[in-house]
Amino acid sequence: MFSNYMKWCRAMGVPPNFSKMNSSMSAPPAVASRVVDLVLWFCIWGEGANLRHMPECMWFLYHKMMEEYTLSEGYTQTRSLYAGHYLDQVVNPIFKIVEKSMKGKNDHPEKLNYDDFN
């Protein structure tokens, strides 16, 4: 599942970020950690429909979000984030930049497409 993420990390020259759960969980730590990794990835992937054509962007988002998660050691403080916060604050701003450059009146060499942002 994360083989492309590992390739992305090697290409970027950064170590991969995966969760590291402690042994106080009822599941074995390796299983619990993998579940956290998968849940985060599927949340990013599921809500980022317009970004799926930019896999490197999706891996960047995963990398930075997991980095924050591991720095907080899995502790999540209660925040009053509304439904759609991720779409409004992360996905839409990225997509608006892509959309704006795709709708330009310029010829193709001066237009940017999904691959150009990847």
DSSP sequence for 39-57: HHHHHHHHH-GGGTT-HHH
Q: Where are the beta strands (DSSP E) in the chain?
A: none
What's the pLDDT score for residue 115?
Answer: 65
Structure-block tokens of residue 103 = 């709708």
What's the pLDDT score for residue 13?
Answer: 92
Q: What residue type is 101 in one-letter code?
A: S
Residues 107, 85: Cα–Cα separation, whole Å: 35
What's the pLDDT score for residue 87?
Answer: 85
Structure-block tokens of residue 116 = 């150009």
Greatest distance between any 2 Cα atoms in the chain: 59
What's the pLDDT score for residue 84?
Answer: 81
Walk along the chain (118 residues) in steps of 10 and give the mean pLDDT of each run.
88 86 60 83 83 85 86 64 82 84 69 66
